[in-house]
Amino acid sequence: AQTVTQSQPEMSVQEAETVTLSCTYDTSENNYYLFWYKQPPSRQMILVIRQEAYKQQNATENRFSVNFQKAAKSFSLKISDSQLGDTAMYFCAFMRSNTGNQFYFGTGTSLTVIP
């Protein structure tokens, strides 16, 4: 079974600063996808960024970027120029590349951006 670990239950960052959220996973698969989802107080799950395991280049989406270390099974999320709207719960997720497979989620990191 796959497991996803987020070791930081809560984090805070000053507005405009940079913060990194950690995620590690355990799998014997070679092909898979990794995701970061954001859940603001509205409860809606919003995709932040995705990474295909076969791609060596780290994914970036505006202020969000990842540090994907396949050998170390690590997938951290860096948020630059933090904004108040970034305050949310962040979930790391793993999915194998086979069809119809399950998404495995970490327990989440609650991020607070301080004005």
Partner 1 sequence: NAGVTQTPKFQVLKTGQSMTLQCAQDMNHNSMYWYRQDPGMGLRLIYYSASEGTTDKGEVPNGYNVSRLNKREFSLRLESAAPSQTSVYFCASSLSKQGMNTEAFFGQGTRLTVV
Supply the minimum distance, in Å, between the C-beta of residue 5 and partner 1.
Answer: 10
Contact by Cβ (8 Å): 15, 82: yes
Contact flags string 65-94 toward partner 1, x per CB under 8 A: --------------------------x-x-
User: First vs last Cα of the chain: how many Å apart?
Assistant: 41
Q: Does 105 bind partner 1 (CB under 8 A)?
A: yes
Q: Does 95 bind partner 1 (CB under 8 A)?
A: yes
Q: Does 25 bind partner 1 (CB under 8 A)?
A: no
Rank residues 56 and 115 by Cβ distance to partner 1 and give the closer one. Answer: 56
- The pair of three-digit structure tokens given for residue 47, joined into one six-digit string: 């995709």
Q: How far apart are CA 13 and CA 109, in angstroms?
A: 13
Q: Which of 13, 25, 35, 38 is in the footprint of partner 1 by CB under 8 A? A: 35
Contacts of 79 (CB under 8 A, 6+ apart): 13, 18, 19, 20, 21, 63, 64, 86, 111
